[in-house]
Amino acid sequence: MAQTSAEKYPQVTGAQIKGSATLLTSGDVYEKMKDLVAQALARKPVRQ
């Protein structure tokens, strides 16, 4: 999943993800992240 996210959202760096970790306590942000991940997975088959 990390590779898929990096490919689809190259502007999102590890530092930004760590920096926004505290924001994940907010329900809105958490739901948006879940939606983004769900959309990405729906568009691109997961290779395991």
pLDDT given for residue 28 in this prediction? 73
The vertex-27 CA angle with 24 and 33, nearest 5°, equals 60
Is there a domain that residue 48 lies in?
no
pLDDT given for residue 14 in this prediction? 66
Is there a domain that residue 7 lies in?
yes
Query: What single DSSP character describes residue 26?
Result: S
In total, how many domains does the chain have?
Answer: 1
Helices (H) and strands (E) in the chain, counts: 3, 0
- The pTM for the full model equals 0.34
**Band of the pLDDT at 42, cuts 50, 70, 90?**
confident
Rg of the chain, C-alpha, whole Å: 11
Contact between 29 and 20 under an 8 Å Cβ cutoff? The reply is yes
Q: What are the residues whose beta carbons fall under 8 Å from the beta carbon of 4, sequence distance 6 or more? A: 40, 41, 44, 46
pLDDT tens, position by position, 9-41: 556 666 666 666 665 556 677 788 888 888 888
Is there a domain that residue 22 lies in?
yes
Is there a domain that residue 8 lies in?
yes
Is there a domain that residue 34 lies in?
yes
